[in-house]
Amino acid sequence: MNLRKIADIVVLIIIGFCLGGMFSDVSATDQYLSEWQTLIAGILAVAAAAWTVGEMRRNDSMQQQRHEELMLLNLRADRLRAERAAFPYADKLEYASNIISERVEQLGAHRDIDINRRVAINIAQAMNFIIDYLRADAIIDAKPLFGSAMAFSFESLEKRIEISARTTIGLCETLAETETDFGKKLEEHWPKIALNSLTIARSCREFAVELKRLADHYGPD
């Protein structure tokens, strides 16, 4: 039995006392009230306190329910942001990174200049894809969900992309357009292309894993 019901019962008891006094003669009523007024006052005080406590508990329960509903709504919004960032961009980043790693190994492995040109173009294209993926609205919207380590990883990757990736793209495009002394140009640019490309590819794969972990963290239990 809750406090509100107890308060209602107490009030009914008091009403019963009062009705009993009303149907008695005046002197009996005075004596009746004189004998019972302290008890009646105490019971009324208890009833009022019980009713007040009941209302406070009911209000607290409603506030807690509203708080939980807001938390669920916020969690759902965060989950959607994390999922939109991870899928499909985690897989796309991994795919582009794998293409870069494969093409770096192939660059210079063939004597055919045209094949090497296409390989250089593939590296440049994959780098451009990575730049676009990291600037996607879904990734940017999810940034507030990144922990400190993930935020640092993302910022470091952005800096590498801004400097190393663009340099690598330029070198690859230069190779692709080279008509004479291709071997010499390749020998000159390959170390920097390989270092920058493999570093960026590794960082992108690591960030892709972090994106998937983020989605798992905010996903359903």
Q: What is the pLDDT of residue 19?
A: 46
Alpha-carbon distance of 95 to 157, in angstroms, equals: 16
Alpha-carbon distance of 126 to 165, in angstroms, equals: 10
Instruction: DSSP letter for 219, please.
Output: S
Instruction: DSSP letter for 146, please.
Output: -
> Is 49 within 8 Å of 4 (Cβ atoms)?
no
Q: How far apart, in Å, are the Cα atoms of 76 and each of 73, 80, 81, 215?
A: 5, 6, 9, 12
Residue 122 lies in a domain: yes
Alpha-carbon distance of 169 to 205, in angstroms, equals: 19
Q: Which of 50, 75, 100 is the last residue of a domain?
A: 75
Q: What is the pLDDT of residues 145-181, one digit of tens each?
A: 999 999 999 999 999 888 899 899 999 988 888 888 8
Q: Residue 23 above 60 pLDDT? A: no
Q: What is the pLDDT of residue 18?
A: 56
The tokens for 163 are 């400097």
Residue 145 lies in a domain: yes
| CA dihedral sign of residues 73, 78, 81, 82 | negative
Q: What residues contact 54, with CB distance under 8 A and at least 6 apart?
A: 2, 3, 4, 7
- Domain holding 43, by residue range, is 3-75
Residue 186 lies in a domain: yes
Do 209 and 121 reside in the same domain of the chain? yes
Residue 153 lies in a domain: yes
Residue 93 lies in a domain: yes
Residue 81 lies in a domain: no
Q: Which of 31, 53, 75 is the last residue of a domain?
A: 75
Do 95 and 39 reside in the same domain of the chain? no
Q: What is the pLDDT of residue 6?
A: 59
Residue 80 lies in a domain: no
The three-state DSSP-derived secondary structure of 88-109 is CHHHHHHHHHHHHHHHHHHCCC
Q: Which of 35, 55, 75 is the last residue of a domain?
A: 75
Nearest to 169 by CA among 91, 95, 103, 98: 103
**Residue 127: which CATH number?**
1.20.120
Residue 161 lies in a domain: yes
Do 53 and 157 reside in the same domain of the chain? no
Do 9 and 36 reside in the same domain of the chain? yes
Do 32 and 130 reside in the same domain of the chain? no
Work out the average pLDDT over 197-215: 94
Do 20 and 105 reside in the same domain of the chain? no
Do 152 and 114 reside in the same domain of the chain? yes
Q: What is the pLDDT of residues 110-151, one digit of tens each?
A: 788 889 989 999 999 999 999 999 999 999 999 999 999 999
Do 38 and 107 reside in the same domain of the chain? no
As a dihedral over the C-alpha atoms of residue 201, residue 204, residue 210, residue 214, rounded to 10 degrees, the angle is: -150
Do 35 and 128 reside in the same domain of the chain? no
